[in-house]
Structure 1
Amino acid sequence: MAIGGSAGSVQVIRQICRLLPADLHASVLIAVHVGAGNQNLLAGILDNGGPLPASTAVDGEPLREAAVYVAPADHYLVIDGRHIRLGRGPRENMARPAIDPLFRSAGISAGPGAIGVLLSGMLNDGASGLADLKRCGGVTVVQSPLDAIESEMPRTALLASDIDYRAPARDLATLLTRLVQEKPDPALTPPASIALEVAIAMGRPSNTPTVAQIADPVPLKCPGCGGTLSQIRRSPLRFRCQVGHGYTAEALAHEQEGSVDEAVRIAVRVIGERVVLMEKLALDALQTGRNATAATLRNALRNIGARRQC
């Protein structure tokens, strides 16, 4: 069982883990967008707050049923068969850990036995991973957007794929307990494109031929490294650069907006510094008897002032 969330999800995760049975026939893996110190704190809170032992995930440790594993800071948490793996590949949606790699790896490793749960959060990490988990035959669940503190993540997931279940926070533990007990459908062959993206999250070297297996170049630049972005061929709309940085369309737009704001601030600062320098040059020209130069500089200053008022 893979659970992902961001803003507003921690309280829901605590409630789920408190109500899951002590003899749960599944492992619970959690990826949450929180600060480095808070992630280790979350494992301790869950360990003390419910019947299931909880810990910060360790690379290579075997998965145990009726146990909770929380993604550590600055690492992707993924499932490799019956073991945990931690990766430090390029960031996805400006985040690491991120939810999408966990969901994809759960789908590959458990197939129809995988359960993906997306909770409250902003932007849309988790939506494409949940869609990929479903492509592998897994069961998908989202917190009801009307019940979530931040509805954007579950709402986007509902638009990105045909989600199997939606439920308010109070009903999720009961629903998940029932789903774990159900017999899964026959296994499917996971798409190679999903496995490739998990490998990138684990740190597999990525380059233009690698990304070309799953995406086509578009005239957009990666905000993270400046490289060319390629559009992933399967939905929902996403992009990767040659290095491997991944973005949903919304996350890319959000990052571009920040870049535009920064560029405007730099431009305003440079113009202000140029005005100061030209004023000093004009004063120096007057003091040294270079009246024509001073007049030219003053005229240039007036033109800059007129443009700044437009």
Structure 2
Amino acid sequence: MNRRDIIAIGGSMGAVDAIRQLCRDLPADFAATMFIVVHVGADGQNLLADIFDAQSPISISTAVDGERFQRGHGYVAPADHHLLVIDDVVRLGRGPRENLARPAVDPLFRSVGISFGPRTIAVVLSGLLNDGAAGVADVKRCGGITVVQNPADAVAAEMPWGALRATDIDYRSPLSEMAALLVKLAAEEPGPAVEIPADIRAEVEIALGRHVGTDIIAQLGDPVPLSCPACGGVLSQVRRGPPLRFRCQVGHSYTAETLENEKEGSVDEALRVALRIMEERAVLTEKMAEDARRSGRAAAAGSYDERVNESRSYADILRRAIDKSARKT
């Protein structure tokens, strides 16, 4: 008899400790399969599986491309690879980063959604920004069940809140009660199968690393006058939502919140570069004024002095803008 036996878990800041507790609270006879994505750097040492396994009554390992998954086992995404599940096979994708991350949570959620539909349970834990929000909404579209850590209970509440805003979440649970909830849900019969939307399948193909053409992106969204922070290409606004989302022609994907955060960092960097240029211009022009005075060129010295004052005025404006941006963060 079918059960809701496929559990996909995602998080970032604060999620490692949350998953350790969740694993520790599971029973030894837990028969569901867990797939876990935590944002890690591209040069990560793939130690998370060992950390989780040490606390867990069920075995947890780093996912290997092409392996057939086992019931009652957990699989953790390795560094710099999207963790995907296609039917009964684990796949590691080298597709473009999503929300600046690889592995990202959204591709995992989409892949289990299209492969297992109502057998899927998607879990969003503590984390910054809102990776996972689009994926958890896609799991709902595929007939799956969704669970979010109570934002008040999370170290970083942004990912749980993002998921709650993206779709009608089935369960909002404190971490202390989540293992018991998953045991209960995993023992239930799944709902009826639903037709899997083609656009979700297309995004899973992108995460796998398949060719991304203009025709594929055109199926997902419409071009907008925004550029991709990663490659500089034109972004297209993804039609389905929430959350508001964008993809470029290469396939990089961003929620609006992630894109805004990245653009804000770029603006701050540009302001600091402009400030440095203005300060150096003021110093250089001041030296030119001094040289003109020593040479008896009073008119030229006066002109240089005006340019010094102008550069310092612009520098003050830039400095105030940087200070204002810093106070916002």
TM-score, normalised to structure 2, is 0.89
- One-letter amino acid of the counterpart of residue 47, structure 1: D
Count of equivalent residues: 310
Corresponding residue to 1:251 among 250, 255, 258: 258
Q: Deviations over 1:76-109 (max 9, x none)?
A: 1111111111112111111111111110001011
Query: 2:114 maps to which residue?
Result: 108
- One-letter amino acid of the counterpart of residue 75, structure 1: H
Deviation of 1:282 (Å): 2.6
Q: Is the Cα–Cα contact under 8 Å of residues 39 and 71 in structure 1 kept in the other structure?
A: no
Q: Does 1:74 align with 2:80?
A: yes
How do 1:186-201 residues align onto structure 2 when only pairs under 5 Å count?
186-201=192-207
Q: Is the Cα–Cα contact under 8 Å of residues 39 and 70 in structure 1 kept in the other structure?
A: no
- One-letter amino acid of the counterpart of residue 278, structure 2: I
Query: 1:262 maps to which residue?
Result: 269
Q: Does 1:280 align with 2:279?
A: no
Query: 1:122 maps to which residue?
Result: 128
Deviation of 1:309 (Å): 4.3
Q: Is the Cα–Cα contact under 8 Å of residues 279 and 311 in structure 2 kept in the other structure?
A: no
CA distance in 1, matches of 2:209, 2:108: 14
Q: Deviations over 1:164-209 (max 9, x none)?
A: 1111111111111121111112222211101111111111222332
Q: Is the Cα–Cα contact under 8 Å of residues 125 and 154 in structure 2 kept in the other structure?
A: yes
Query: 2:100 maps to which residue?
Result: 94
List alignment gaps of at least 5 residues for structure 1.
Answer: none
Q: Does 1:298 align with 2:311?
A: no
Deviates more, 1:77-86 or 1:8-17: 8-17
Q: Does 1:235 align with 2:249?
A: no
Deviation of 1:39 (Å): 6.3
SS of match in other structure, 1:24: coil
Q: Does 1:164 align with 2:167?
A: no
Deviation of 1:239 (Å): 0.8
SS of match in other structure, 1:74: coil
Deviates more, 1:197-206 or 1:229-238: 197-206
CA distance in 2, matches of 1:107, 1:39: 28
SS of match in other structure, 2:13: coil
Query: 2:55 maps to which residue?
Result: 49
CA distance in 1, matches of 2:314, 2:116: 62
List alignment gaps of at least 5 residues for structure 2.
Answer: 1-6, 318-329
Query: 1:33 maps to which residue?
Result: 39
Query: 1:226 maps to which residue?
Result: 232
Q: Is the Cα–Cα contact under 8 Å of residues 43 and 70 in structure 1 kept in the other structure?
A: yes
- One-letter amino acid of the counterpart of residue 77, structure 2: A
Deviation of 1:291 (Å): 3.9
- One-letter amino acid of the counterpart of residue 293, structure 1: A
TM-score, normalised to structure 1, is 0.94
Does the C-alpha gap of structure 1 residues 306 and 44 become closer, same or farther in structure 2, counting only changes over 3 Å? closer
- One-letter amino acid of the counterpart of residue 130, structure 1: V
SS of match in other structure, 2:229: coil
CA distance in 2, matches of 1:116, 1:189: 18
CA distance in 2, matches of 1:50, 1:130: 25
CA distance in 1, matches of 2:203, 2:262: 21
- One-letter amino acid of the counterpart of residue 264, structure 1: L
RMSD across aligned positions (CA):
1.7
- One-letter amino acid of the counterpart of residue 219, structure 1: P
SS of match in other structure, 1:177: helix
